[in-house]
Chain A
Amino acid sequence: MNAAIRAPQSLLCELTYRCNLQCPYCYNPLNLGRPSQEIGRDLWLSVLDQAADLGVLQVGFSGGEPTLRSADLVALTERANKRGCYTNLITQGTFLDDALLDALLEAGLAHVQISIQAPERELAAVIAGTDVHERKLDALRRVARRDVALTLNCVLHRLNHDSLPEVIAFAEREGIRRLELANVQFYGWAFRNRFALIPTREQVARGQALVAEAKQRLRGAMEITYVLPDYFEEFPKPCMHGWGQVALTVTPDGRVLPCPAAAEIKTLQFPNVQSTTLREAWYESHAFTSYRGTAWMPEPCRSCDRREIDFGGCRCQAFLLLGDAGATDPACFKSPHHEVLTALRDGVPDAVPVPRRPDPALR
């Protein structure tokens, strides 16, 4: 049965893949493209108008580092706001000075998410490839002083997982009200670095216990999210609440994707806002239709009673690990290829991560 396709609710605008940091856990693609390929402000404004017309209510600005296009970012925030959308800025904060922050708030920005790579300077500098700890602290404090929602984000992986108590303590000291602790997911650079980054099962379990305790203790004062990774679970994650169901992403060069990682799927051609409308991309494009709903599912998904709970898991992960975007996500214990997760969990303890940076060889 094909249910009517619902309108998208949220749009992620990846304004650029440029970034001054080199975090090895970044989910951006290995091919970071060229700045000259970035679509301009006018086209982004059109994208926002189209999104609002479709019914999108949540708009995120991300990248790479979106504040590297600061003037455009302000204009886009203003347009999204004018069209009634809630606006989120997802940033590592190193360029978020008072002037930019005030301009963004003037434009109606509702929420800022700032990342830290570790709770203390040295480890943060190792992970990010550069020391920007002070500037992040400044940015956090700058935002905390203003009437805008603030979330502190820290991506967790083997190199910083043991610092989780310090991340929570750091957040408490800074008066953070929303803390997002996200176990690394393996797309893009993170996939390349997966053997170096995958936490141990013990680290993840310890993290769960720590977060449970902190949630109890900080109830009402801090909202904490601990995103569990799927590689130690039985069932896959309900990725994006289903392919082409709720959200869409537009990349720096204008491609329309059902999620930020989908360009990994080399067997799909994605529509581009330079030559098509968002409406067409969402409702009619081959890429979006390919894995929407349940009709495309192979066994065991097709007759599984979880098919509308986790939608067969993640297409990108199936492609990256099995070379087939239409296969059951190997994170599912029912997948005939579930053992590739075992290989991932057990492999290469001394792997060295590759820092994220533009590489002509990868284009």
Chain B
Amino acid sequence: MSAVSAYRLARGVKLRRQPDGGGLLLVPEGLVTLSDSATATLELVDGQRDVPDIARRLSEDFEADAQTLEGDVQTLLESFVERGYVLR
């Protein structure tokens, strides 16, 4: 399947862009409002990409340093793993 360190959205978790551009995570019986950076990160979670891949893509889109972004991406994804929305 995917690399050991790849992340994917948990079952029944759907990412959505609202008309105003803001991101939302729709989860069982609930919703989570997402920051722009969280939305951009989760859009790249596809079961194949690992943290360095995601950070690299984000650094291209947002003209930021990939190395620095890796830490942020890791933290964000781990917080969503904690809440059961993302699986490793």
Contacts and interface: CB of A to CB of B under 8 A. Distances in A.
Interface of A: 9-10, 57-58, 60, 84, 86, 88, 110-111, 113, 147-151, 177-178, 219-220, 223
B31 A57 contact: yes
A48 B70 CA distance: 41
A148 B12 CA distance: 5
B29 A88 contact: yes
Query: SS class of chain A's interface: helix, strand, loop or mixed?
Result: strand
19 contacts: A57-B16, A57-B24, A57-B31, A58-B31, A86-B26, A86-B31, A110-B14, A110-B26, A111-B12, A111-B29, A149-B11, A149-B12, A150-B11, A150-B12, A151-B28, A177-B84, A178-B28, A220-B82, A223-B83
Interface of B: 10-14, 16, 24, 26-31, 81-84
Contact of B28 (A84, A147, A149, A220): A149
Contacts of B24: 57
A57 B31 CA distance: 8
A220 B12 CA distance: 17
Contacts of B10: 149, 177
B82 A84 contact: no
Given A86-B26, A147-B11, 12 more contacts: A88-B29, A110-B12, A110-B26, A110-B28, A111-B12, A111-B29, A149-B13, A149-B27, A177-B84, A178-B84, A220-B82, A223-B83
Nearest to B24: A57
Q: Which 7 A-B pairs have the closest CB atoms?
A: A149-B12, A86-B26, A111-B28, A223-B84, A110-B12, A111-B12, A149-B11
A58 B30 contact: yes
A58 B29 CA distance: 7
B22 to A, nearest CB: 12
A232 B51 CA distance: 46
B31 A88 contact: no
Contacts, number: 50
B84 A9 contact: no
Contacts of B82: 219-220
B10 to A, nearest CB: 7
Q: Which of A9, A86, A219 has the most CB of B within 10 A?
A: A86
A54 to B, nearest CB: 13
Contacts of A148: 11-12
Contacts of B28: 88, 110-111, 113, 149, 151, 178
A173 B8 CA distance: 24
B11 A58 contact: no
Nearest to B81: A220
A104 to B, nearest CB: 12
Nearest to A222: B84
A247 to B, nearest CB: 10
Nearest to B25: A86
A10 B26 CA distance: 11
B88 to A, nearest CB: 9
A9 B29 CA distance: 11
A49 to B, nearest CB: 17
A84 B16 contact: yes
Contacts of B12: 110-111, 148-150
Contacts of B31: 9, 57-58, 86
Contacts of A113: 28-29
Contacts of B81: 220
A223 B83 CA distance: 8
Contacts of A220: 81-82
Q: Which of A10, A111, A147, A219 has the most CB of B within 10 A?
A: A111
A220 B80 CA distance: 10
Nearest to A143: B11
A35 B29 CA distance: 27
A60 B29 contact: yes
Contacts of B11: 147-150, 177
A131 to B, nearest CB: 28
A71 to B, nearest CB: 23
